[in-house]
Amino acid sequence: MKKIIILSFMILVASFFASAKNNDITLDSSIAEVPLEYELYRKIDDGLTLIENESVYTIDNLNPLTTNTMITDFTIRVNSNLNSSKNVNVTVSPSTFKTILNNDQIYDSNIKPIINTIIDRKTVQAGLNTNKEVYRFNIFVCGKKNLPAGKYICNVNVQYTIE
């Protein structure tokens, strides 16, 4: 009798599952990809100073060009939520230091700053990137003796592109 009850119970359970239906629900949602946001900073002590896009950042407290000078790190950082990786290309191009003699003659000192690349991550990975450093460099100026007096100016062009 016990076997009949167990067998009946098993048949009842099996018939319940045999008559059960199966449905699926699919939920779709999307998050828009935000364009990459690059920013150039100068690292001073423990802080970062933002260099505004399309602006000129002036460092006017350099040592005289007769001495060697190291200028602290600059960093390029990125924010993104990419769903595919992107390549990063950074080019830092310094000119030579020049001054004006006799109110109208350009004097070229032939001193060209040396760019020391410290970090160069060629790819921004897919996923969330928050204030991620992709490039860091510093600038070294090798001094030169016997230069004419004057205010010497050198432009350093920093270009960064996404490929």
Q: What is the pLDDT of residues 18-59, one digit of tens each?
A: 566 778 888 999 889 888 888 999 988 888 999 988 888 999
**Ranges of each domain in the chain:** 35-162
pLDDT at 127: 92
Decide if pLDDT at 97 tops 80.
yes
Confidence class for position 14, pLDDT limits 50, 70, 90: low
pLDDT at 18: 59
pLDDT at 1: 63
Confidence class for position 130, pLDDT limits 50, 70, 90: very high
pLDDT tens sequence across 76-86: 999 999 999 99
pLDDT at 106: 95
Decide if pLDDT at 5 tops 70.
no
Decide if pLDDT at 3 tops 90.
no
Confidence class for position 8, pLDDT limits 50, 70, 90: low
pLDDT at 39: 92
**Neighbour-count burial of 163, counting CB atoms closer than 10 A to its CB (0-12 exposed, 13-18 middle, 19+ buried):** exposed
- pLDDT above 70 coverage of the chain, percent: 88
pLDDT at 137: 96
- The pTM is what? 0.78
